């Protein structure tokens, strides 16, 4: 709470900007919000299309006192928080597609990108960027059946600053729970409540290996629990897997 907010009409990428601010010693909790990104970044080197004036582009600086191997959990903490914020602020059933997409009515609504600057055994800082399709009315043809926006699903424009404030509130609450134990043990039930595939059949695709099972929430490390046909539980690590509903 009470940290600096930087607002930009236009920026290359709020993640890139937070990294610049971090290098200038900006404190934990610094928030950057932009109306337009000329070089928005998605995961796996993809671009994140960032048109003007209708979506939410925001990034937060974290200086957590946690081990580098726990950093990926922060993305799950943020995903949970944003899903909860959308639910409480707008009353729609946003869900998490493990590990870190948020979907609404089966289509992608929010993307999250975490970047880390770390030494072997400590984290200098983490940047978590959140892109929320808020008031977008249409998508390019190739995305139309995969992506959606709050405006499209709800039928009217949403108040972006109120949603940003609600996201920050949930993030603060969940972040505090997270740093106490340095794992997700305090959030597993809450995560299960918003998990899109909970108790449903999923197909897990790992490099050279594929199987089906039933999603049973996450463990304290943030791994997806998949119940196999023989009743055993496989813990799926986020790395290179892709999980699909059947
Ligand atoms: C994904 O590929 O799903 C992640 C997309 C993350 C987009 C957000 S928008 C705000 C922040 N700045 C960026 O350049 N990317 C993230």
Q: Which atom of ligand 1 lies nearest, measured to the CA of 100?
A: 3
**Does residue 232 register a pLDDT over 80?**
yes
Within this chain, do residues 124 and 53 fall inside the same structural domain, yes or no?
A: yes
At residue 1 the predicted structure's pLDDT band, cuts being 50, 70 and 90, is low
Q: Is 14 known as a binding-site position? A: yes
ipTM: 0.99
Looking at the domain assignment, is residue 188 inside a domain? Answer: no
Q: What is the pLDDT of residue 27?
A: 96
pLDDT at 2 over 70: no
Looking at the structure, tell me whether residues 69 and 138 fall in a common domain: yes
Rg (CA), the chain: 18
Residue bearing the CA closest to ligand 1, atom 9: 131
Q: Let me know whether 206 and 111 are in one domain.
A: no
| Nearest atom (ligand 1) to Cα of 44 | 2
Query: Does 37 count as an annotated binding residue?
Result: yes
**108 known ligand binder:** yes
**217: CATH:** 2.30.30.100
Total domains in the fold of the chain:
2
Average pLDDT of the residues in 115-129: 92
Identify the domain containing residue 232 by its residue range: 197-245
**Same domain assignment for residues 223 and 107:** no
Distance 172 CA to ligand 1 centre (A): 20
How high is the pLDDT of residue 245?
Answer: 78
Ligand 1 pocket list (CB less than 6 A): 13-15, 37, 40-43, 46, 48, 57-59, 111-113, 129-131
In a domain, 125, yes or no: yes
Is residue 240 domain-shared with residue 145, that is, in the same domain? no
Give nearest CA residue, ligand 1 atom 16.
129
Position 29 in a domain: yes
Residue 189 is assigned to a structural domain of this protein: no
Ligand 1 centroid–CA 132 distance in Å is 9
| Percent share of the chain, pLDDT over 90 | 83
113 CA distance to ligand 1 centroid (A)? Answer: 5
Last residue of a domain, one of 157, 183, 209: 183
């Amino acid at each position: 709470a009470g940290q600096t907010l930087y607002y930009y009409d236009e920026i290359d990428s709020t993640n890139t900007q937070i990294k610049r601010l971090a290098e200038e010693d900006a404190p934990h909790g610094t928030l950057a919000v932009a109306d337009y990104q000329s070089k928005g970044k998605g995961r796996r080197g993809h671009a994140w299309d960032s048109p003007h004036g209708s979506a939410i582009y925001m990034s937060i600086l974290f200086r957590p006192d946690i081990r580098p191997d726990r950093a990926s959990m922060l993305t799950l903490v943020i995903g949970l928080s944003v899903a909860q914020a959308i639910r409480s602020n707008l009353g729609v059933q946003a869900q998490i597609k493990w590990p870190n997409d948020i979907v609404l009515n089966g289509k992608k609504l929010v993307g999250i990108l975490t970047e880390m600057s770390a030494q072997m055994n400590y984290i200098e800082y983490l940047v978590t960027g959140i892109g929320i399709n808020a008031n977008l009315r249409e998508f390019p043809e190739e995305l139309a059946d995969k992506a959606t926006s709050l405006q499209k699903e709800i039928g009217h424009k949403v108040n972006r600053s109120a949603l940003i404030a609600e996201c920050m509130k949930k993030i603060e609450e969940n972040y505090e729970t997270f740093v106490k134990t340095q794992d997700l043990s305090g959030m597993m039930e809450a995560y299960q409540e918003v998990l899109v595939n909970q108790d449903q059949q999923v197909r897990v695709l790992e490099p050279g290996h594929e199987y089906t099972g039933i999603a049973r929430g996450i463990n304290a490390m943030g791994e997806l629990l998949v119940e196999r046909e023989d009743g055993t539980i496989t813990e799926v690590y986020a790395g290179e897997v892709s999980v699909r509903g059947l």
